[in-house]
Amino acid sequence: MALRTEYKEIIDSAVKAIHERTFFAQYPEHPKAYGEEAPAKGLKAYNNQVGKKFESLLQADPSSWAGEEVSPYTLKSLDIQYPIFEVDKLIVRAGRAFGTWKKVSVDDRADVLVDALERVKNRFFEIASATQHTTGQSFMMSFQASGPHASDRALETLALGYEVLKQFPENVTWEKPAGKGVIKLEKTFKPIPKGIGLVIGCSTFPTWNSVPGLFATLITGNAAIVKPHPKSVYPIAVVVAEIQNALKAAGHDPNVCQLAVDTSAKLITKQLAEHPLVKLIDYTGGSVFGNYVESLAGKATFTEKAGVNSVIIDSVADLKAVVQNLSFAVSLYTGQMCTAPQNFFIPEDGIKAGEEHISYEDLVKALCDGIVGIAKHPQIGPGTFGAVQNEATVKRVNSVKDIATLLVSPEAIANPEFPEARTTSHVVLEADAKDFGIYENELFGPIVLIIKTKNTEQSVQLAKEMAAKHGAITCAAYTTDTNVAHHITEEMESVFVPVSFNFTGGIFVNQHAAFSDFHVTGGNPAGNASFTNPDYINRRFVWVGHRMC
């Protein structure tokens, strides 16, 4: 078997995009790109799966079946049962599969993995419904995030891995002049994978956050065990099933990639993570468990944890456009995104907006009105907010109302299509710069904190301190002064936080584009890895060189 020409072209295009950092999408985000029949076919597949055993995996002899997914839109169980396997069985099968997979050529591995993505493409709409009814994302966001965007991120790591693994020759004749003679050696260079990789998924983005590490592990010759969140299994189960189908079609052991489902009553994550044969761990989730993952000896870990994302407002060209953009950014998926803004730092003397001066009070009112306006809009609100994945998020929103001055109270958002949907609008609170304890931690969900500062200098300093101490994945900044922009850039760079300047219109600080934007820098407490830089690939294998006379 060899790398098919059409698949090599896909990889070459992806590698080119990675180097150029320009827009590239192998998998278009527009639903119409996949044909008129695809939406109905995907919905039918989803409906046919609900209430039944998920039997698409090529993993034999489960010890039992279980499932606990509940739709945030209907509050009813999906009643999908997944095969449960003992940890030892998963590890033994992964070890055996690793023994053969590591010997497969890079070209052949790449062929299998691109083939898997092409198979996943045919199930984007099924994955969209699965994501919607496990995470609470709107259907369109579910389609884009778990389908095209996730597959583009997977292709990005696959393509970068392919390039990294091919950067040195496999064999070379080395000759060194030695007087009248020549010393000659035959040298071989091999990238040796480390073993079994564990991918620990999250409940809100079950594929987008999982597939980069999964495909990076597989392209480098390691076996993979995917441990999804028990409340959000279906979307990534489809991906694993198609990877297994691609492996089988190419004559490889499907156990190269396994799904390890557990239940809330009997979690197996730590048992897997601490197993001595597990050498790689990819993790997305809260900082407490993320810190535990990073502390494990003898493991290469790749984490994305919690962060405190800031908005620094110094001056704006068009206040209305800025308010619209920020209001949407905090509202998207009810703020259940690791990139969502939380802390808004605003000078007490107000800001300049074009040729006008806007007082602090008027700016705060404009922001509050903008956030409330989206939540109460009968057409825009339900689709933007979606539903809340976990009841704990709603409780958190209601529990923080007394920690600072309450500016906006949360309310349920009516969803005509799903009257039982678990929803909530934002709580907006106001604090003073000196009240560090109120705003220095991530408050996951639709919670916005407006912090009154002495001036922009203090705003920048506080955003920097929060990132250094607690981590940050994004930072939005608004200024019409190039010197201020330069200062913000330098200060946030010192704590390894990327800054998005003056976003208005249809681009938001939450969004990171595959092949162009690095997702998380790995340089502050928000995570120790980045989608997708070379280090994300290189730490999954070791170069070994042999010499022979």
pLDDT in tens, the chain (549 residues): 689 999 999 999 999 999 999 999 999 999 999 999 999 999 999 999 999 999 999 999 999 999 999 999 999 999 999 999 999 999 999 999 999 999 999 999 999 999 999 999 999 999 999 999 999 999 999 999 999 999 999 999 999 999 999 999 999 999 999 989 999 999 999 999 999 999 999 999 999 999 999 999 999 999 999 999 999 999 999 999 999 999 999 999 999 999 999 999 999 999 999 999 999 999 999 999 999 999 999 999 999 999 999 999 999 999 999 999 999 999 999 999 999 999 999 999 999 999 999 999 999 999 999 999 999 999 999 999 999 999 999 999 999 999 999 999 999 999 999 999 999 999 999 999 999 999 999 999 999 999 999 999 999 999 999 999 999 999 999 999 999 999 999 999 999 999 999 999 999 999 999 999 999 999 999 999 999 999 999 999 999 999 999
Q: Please say whether the beta carbons of 36 and 30 come within 8 A.
A: no
Retrieve residue 533's tokens: 């830089």
- Backbone φ and ψ for 274, nearest 5 degrees, come out as -90, -5
Sequence-distant (≥ 6) Cβ neighbours of residue 379 within 8 angstroms: none
Retrieve residue 155's tokens: 């292709």
Shared-domain flag, residues 163 and 219: yes
User: Can you tell me the distance from the alpha carbon of 519 to that of 284, in angstroms, rounded to the nearest whole number?
Assistant: 12
**Would 539 be classed as within a structural domain?**
no
Shared-domain flag, residues 41 and 109: yes
Provide the residue range defining the domain that includes 318. 310-501
Sequence-distant (≥ 6) Cβ neighbours of residue 210 within 8 angstroms: 199, 201, 202, 226, 228, 236, 239, 282, 284
Question: How would you class 211 by CB atoms within 10 Å of its CB: exposed for 0-12, middle for 13-18, buried for 19 or more?
Answer: buried
* pLDDT of 147: 98
Shared-domain flag, residues 425 and 484: yes
Shared-domain flag, residues 375 and 494: yes
For the range 517-523, what are the long-range contacts, defined as Cβ-Cβ under 8 Å and sequence gap of 24 or more?
Answer: 519/153, 519/304, 519/473, 520/304, 520/473, 521/496, 521/497, 522/496, 523/495, 523/496
Retrieve residue 373's tokens: 């306006």
* pLDDT of 478: 98
Shared-domain flag, residues 220 and 350: no
First to last CA, the chain: 32
- Single-letter amino acid code for the residue at 389: Q
**Would 335 be classed as within a structural domain?**
yes
Instruction: Give me the CATH number covering residue 347.
Output: 3.40.309.10
Shared-domain flag, residues 315 and 277: no
Shared-domain flag, residues 273 and 314: no
Shared-domain flag, residues 339 and 432: yes
Q: Please say whether the beta carbons of 507 and 535 come within 8 A.
A: no
Tell me which H or E stretch contains 345.
strand 343-347
Shared-domain flag, residues 273 and 415: no
**Would 533 be classed as within a structural domain?**
no
Per DSSP, the three-state class of 161 is: helix
**Would 535 be classed as within a structural domain?**
no
Shared-domain flag, residues 276 and 393: no
Q: Which residue from 105, 70, 299 is spatially nearest to 191, judged by alpha carbons? A: 105
User: Can you tell me the distance from the alpha carbon of 29 to that of 216, in angstroms, rounded to the nearest whole number?
Assistant: 23
User: Can you tell me the distance from the alpha carbon of 274 to that of 519, in angstroms, rounded to the nearest whole number?
Assistant: 27
Q: Please say whether the beta carbons of 197 and 225 come within 8 A.
A: yes
User: Can you tell me the distance from the alpha carbon of 277 to that of 95, in angstroms, rounded to the nearest whole number?
Assistant: 8
Sequence-distant (≥ 6) Cβ neighbours of residue 266 within 8 angstroms: none
* pLDDT of 2: 84
Q: What residues are paired with 72 via a beta bridge? A: none
Q: Please say whether the beta carbons of 312 and 456 come within 8 A.
A: yes
- Single-letter amino acid code for the residue at 125: F
Total number of domains constituting the chain: 2
Shared-domain flag, residues 381 and 249: no
Q: Tell me whether the omega of the peptide bond preceding residue 532 falls within 30 degrees of 0, making it cis.
A: yes
Retrieve residue 44's tokens: 């039918």
Per DSSP, the three-state class of 97 is: helix
**Would 529 be classed as within a structural domain?**
no
Other CB atoms within 10 Å distance of the CB of residue 544: 10
Shared-domain flag, residues 288 and 336: no
